[in-house]
Amino acid sequence: MTQVTMIEVGPRDGFQPIVPFIPTARKIEIIENLYAAGVRRMEAAAFVSPSAVPQMADAPEILAAAAALPGLDAQVLVPTARQADRAIAAGARHLVFVVSVSETHNRNNVRRSPAESVEEYVRLVEHLPGAIRLNVATAFDCPFEGRVSADAVFDLLDRLVPLAPSAEIALCDTTGRATPGQVMRLFGEAAARYPGGPSWVFHGHDTYGVGAANAFAAYQANVRAFDASVGGLGGCPFAPGATGNVATEDLVWMFENMGIATGIMLDRLVETAHDVTTIVGGQTGGRVRRALAAAHTLKTSE
């Protein structure tokens, strides 16, 4: 059976924009429940300035709890080499570095130009003791500058790919405005441009309701790893109007019903998806959770 890798980003991308601080024990409980559902790759936290993103102030504690789960690949996001040093000191072995194609978004997101972020990436890969993944934000659209051209994406990737040719790279639909055709073309062009190079990941938001369709378009372009957030939790504070990530349960339902294995137990995952809807200040989405609940209600009423 064909298999895909689901990368759960709810504990980082989902929690990050929520203003009331989620108790650390509550975050760990959700992480453990996701693990129990079969999740084996997870973006557990971000090592960032607590003053800029207060929700991530407990990143070292969250990483320690996630790293204690046998077989879980707990990755953490870092925006700078200095924060990478913090993460490594806390025990991180899989880092995610983010840079935006858009100048305006990169400055809003990490207070640097894309060129300065490339310099940070150079410093990072020179001394990295573990695995690295690169998130290319605004690869399709920018909330400030509009549509992003493929040429702009490849201008950036041409500088980044040679620095760590085997690094995993996620092309991110930060605003959720990408279309399936756009997704398929960009990943197809990327694979042709860097043959035998990076492994690719699709990171999408569901702002216009085509998140799952975009993920399938990426699959058709031979992408086999997908970011998603339980319950569709999320929303980027530096991308006004963007809704949460594509819901993990939506992609698991889609792939499993296509005969494509995810390794995740949908019923256990949906339980956690319902749970995260109770988080105060959280923005949730997704369709499968609600559809299954409605079907259950109909069945029990018959």
Residues with a known catalytic role: 236
- Quote the DSSP letter at residue 21: P
Residue 135: beta bridge partners? 98, 170
- Quote the DSSP letter at residue 205: B
**Distance between CA atoms of 209 and 147, rounded to whole angstroms?**
18
3-state DSSP of 114-161:
HHHHHHHHHHHHHHCCCEEEEEEECCCEECCCEECCHHHHHHHHHHHH
**Distance between CA atoms of 65 and 60, rounded to whole angstroms?**
9
Q: Which residues contact 294 (CB under 8 A, 6 or more apart)?
A: none
At residue 270's C-alpha, the angle toward residues 181 and 37, to 5°, is 100
Amino acid at 258: M
**Distance between CA atoms of 120 and 126, rounded to whole angstroms?**
10
